[in-house]
């Protein structure tokens, strides 16, 4: 397919005046579960990128908290993480200065007396650095520790300090079903008010995800056609080539529906479907998202598909099936693929099917949203086109590539030059982030950490949204649990998932788009 690339010239960008950046107040960031992968791979590189861009306050401290006695080794390990995962030159002069802000505190999550010592240590650092009392607690531990940590912070008055502000960031999973999510929200809100709670969904930190709002609401031409009168169907795919990467025990309990669909994909769906918020502020955006989720009727089990990968070839590599992954039950019934059809029953979307699918060990890594428009009412060129090189005229398709090759493409029909017939072929108008704005090293956490420090909840999940989504998915999880899948594994690693997922769409005359990625 031919492609027309749209470029912003780099010289245009360099002439833009620097925007007025928001810089947070001095703060101590306390990361619980800091010895885990997330801190090293994502959080610290993101914090360093913020430092490089002068977006951190002058006075700040990062305190890693975990059970192991690590001491100075922790800061050294984080330095390595920043270099390896943050695309940072190891001789960057800002690196040593930044690492000087990192310290470690060993703590047993269940021991209340340790929290008293933690408080003393934070007060000491605060005084030394002139922080002024602000604390941001980040829960990056296994979820079973969330409630205990929150309770202990509350017991030591760390949730409502006399001086400064306190807030808490929670990594998913926010519960594993509706009941547990409610319980967790209750435990958290017993100590922290909702305005102090930042539930992270790292998808909302991705540039392209945020750009969805800009695309829809900063441009006048798309909104008039963004509805059931013009849109035929919406597909959202989160396809990963990776398997479970040593996280067998976690994934066994999670599965694709809990791990990716119920949270990341529902966030994407809400941004595609929401009504224009009255402002780009937390309350307004979160209210519109909630309205979308609330308008989704229960999803019939018949409209859900689950899959599990067997052995296969991904890229050039032979890989084992899910049941042969490390620390996975050899008879596991956990799904590594989930697909479903849902509807949004409101004036804008009634009758438009939304197809969602997520899978591990798929043919290609691609997270994409594709919006297929209706055909024109009369296809005057169709007969001629059918005889031409590209066959039948294809409907307009807008694809939003979340990753990789972040960008947006619009497919339309164009006349094939020099042809004596009116032959029509599909071509793409393609906006590519990297071509337009240069390569970004950001991992999504930069924006979210910065917003949490600034107290801006716009890009964070609210308890009502989390519970509404669990209410939608818990019956599916229950139904799946009550019936062991007989045909697992049912797709080869390196394929586009089980055949039954194709049938789900074929039933209503649709097909999955498998030509994902940039063309």
Nearer to ligand BG6, 240 or 267 (CB): 240
Closest approach of Cβ 249 to ligand BG6, in Å?
13
Closest approach of Cβ 97 to ligand BG6, in Å?
29
User: Is the CB of residue 457 less than 8 Å from the CB of residue 195?
Assistant: yes
Compute the Cα dihedral for 44, 49, 52, 54 and give only its sign: negative
Q: Does 490 bind ligand BG6 (CB under 6 A)?
A: no
User: Is the CB of residue 335 less than 8 Å from the CB of residue 480?
Assistant: yes
Question: b/e string for 300-325 if b means 16 or more Cβ within 10 A?
Answer: eeebbbbbbbbbbebeeeebbbbbeb
CA separation (Å) from 95 to 35, 47, 442? 20, 11, 17
Closest approach of Cβ 374 to ligand BG6, in Å?
30
Nearer to ligand BG6, 259 or 405 (CB): 259
Nearer to ligand BG6, 143 or 426 (CB): 143
Selected catalytic residue, list 49, 114, 202, 264: 264
Query: How many chain residues touch ligand BG6 (CB under 6 A)?
Result: 5
Nearer to ligand BG6, 153 or 366 (CB): 366
Contacts of residues 453-458 at CB distance under 8 Å and 24 or more positions apart, as own/partner, are: 453/24, 453/25, 453/27, 453/29, 453/57, 453/136, 454/22, 454/24, 455/165, 455/167, 455/195, 456/282, 457/195, 457/198, 457/282, 457/286, 458/280, 458/281, 458/282, 458/285, 458/286
Nearer to ligand BG6, 101 or 357 (CB): 357
User: Is the CB of residue 46 less than 8 Å from the CB of residue 155?
Assistant: no
Closest approach of Cβ 422 to ligand BG6, in Å?
42
Q: Does 240 bind ligand BG6 (CB under 6 A)?
A: yes
Helix (H) or strand (E) holding 52: helix 44-52
Nearer to ligand BG6, 166 or 261 (CB): 261
- Mark 50-89 with x for binding to ligand BG6 (rule: CB under 6 A) and - for no binding: ----------------------------------------
Q: Does 367 bind ligand BG6 (CB under 6 A)?
A: yes
Q: Does 210 bind ligand BG6 (CB under 6 A)?
A: no
Q: What is the DSSP string of 110-125?
A: T-HHHHHHHHHHHHHH
User: Is the CB of residue 140 less than 8 Å from the CB of residue 33?
Assistant: yes
User: Is the CB of residue 363 less than 8 Å from the CB of residue 514?
Assistant: yes
Closest approach of Cβ 240 to ligand BG6, in Å?
5
Report, in angstroms and rounded to the nearest whole number, the Rg of the chain calculated over CA atoms.
24
Catalytic, 202? Answer no
Nearer to ligand BG6, 208 or 495 (CB): 208
Q: Which of 77, 126, 259, 456 binds ligand BG6 (CB under 6 A)?
A: 259
The tokens for 110 are 């269940």
**φ and ψ at residue 138, rounded to 5 degrees:** -120, 120
Q: Does 208 bind ligand BG6 (CB under 6 A)?
A: no
Partners of residue 410 on adjacent β-strands? 398, 429
Closest approach of Cβ 397 to ligand BG6, in Å?
22
* Catalytic site positions: 264
Provide the binding-site residues for ligand BG6, judged by CB under 6 A.
202, 240, 259-260, 367
């Amino acid at each position: 397919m031919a492609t027309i690339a749209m470029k912003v010239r780099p010289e245009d960008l360099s002439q833009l005046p620097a925007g007025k950046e928001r810089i947070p107040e001095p703060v101590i960031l306390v990361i619980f579960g800091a010895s885990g992968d997330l801190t090293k791979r994502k959080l610290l590189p993101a914090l360093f990128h913020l430092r490089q861009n002068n977006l951190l306050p002058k006075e700040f401290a990062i305190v890693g908290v975990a059970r192991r006695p690590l001491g100075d080794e922790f800061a050294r390990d984080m330095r390595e993480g920043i270099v390896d995962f943050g695309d940072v030159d190891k001789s960057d002069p800002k690196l040593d200065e930044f690492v000087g802000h990192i310290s470690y505190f060993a703590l047993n999550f269940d021991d209340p007396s340790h929290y008293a010592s933690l408080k003393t240590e934070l007060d000491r650092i605060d005084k030394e650095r002139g922080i002024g009392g602000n604390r941001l607690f980040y829960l990056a531990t296994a979820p079973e520790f969330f409630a205990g940590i929150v309770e202990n912070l509350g017991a030591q008055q760390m949730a409502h300090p006399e001086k400064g502000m306190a807030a808490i960031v929670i990594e998913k999973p926010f519960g594993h079903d509706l009941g547990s999510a409610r319980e967790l929200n209750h435990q958290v809100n017993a100590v922290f008010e909702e305005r102090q709670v930042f539930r992270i969904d790292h998808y909302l930190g991705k540039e392209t995800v945020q750009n969805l709002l800009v695309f829809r609401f900063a441009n006048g031409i798309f909104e008039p056609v963004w509805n059931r009168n013009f849109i035929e169907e919406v597909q959202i795919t989160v396809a990963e080539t990776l398997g479970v990467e040593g996280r067998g025990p976690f994934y066994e309990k999670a599965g694709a529906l809990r791990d990716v669909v119920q949270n990341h994909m529902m966030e994407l769906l809400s941004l595609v479907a929401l009504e224009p918020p009255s402002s780009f502020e937390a309350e307004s955006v979160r209210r519109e998202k909630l309205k979308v989720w609330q308008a989704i009727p229960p999803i019939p089990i018949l409209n859900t598909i689950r899959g599990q990968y067997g052995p296969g070839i991904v890229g050039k590599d032979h890989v084992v099936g899910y049941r042969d992954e490390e620390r996975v039950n050899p008879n596991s019934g956990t799904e590594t693929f989930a697909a479903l059809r849902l509807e949004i029953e409101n004036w804008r979307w009634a009758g438009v099917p939304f197809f969602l699918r997520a899978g591990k060990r798929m043919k290609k890594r691609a997270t994409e949203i594709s919006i297929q428009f209706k055909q024109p009412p009369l296809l005057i060129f169709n007969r001629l086109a059918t005889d031409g090189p590209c066959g039948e005229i294809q409907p307009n398709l807008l694809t939003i590539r979340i990753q990789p090759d972040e960008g947006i493409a619009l497919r339309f029909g164009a006349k094939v030059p020099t042809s004596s017939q009116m032959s029509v072929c599909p071509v793409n108008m393609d906006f590519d982030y990297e071509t337009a704005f240069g390569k970004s090293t950001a991992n999504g956490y930069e924006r979210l950490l910065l917003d949490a420090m600034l107290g801006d909840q716009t890009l964070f999940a609210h308890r009502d949204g989390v519970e509404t989504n669990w209410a939608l998915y818990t019956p599916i999880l229950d139904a799946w649990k009550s019936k062991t899948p007989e045909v697992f594994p049912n797709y080869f690693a390196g394929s586009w998932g089980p055949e039954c997922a194709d049938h789900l769409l074929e039933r209503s005359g649709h097909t999955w788009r498998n030509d994902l990625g940039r063309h």
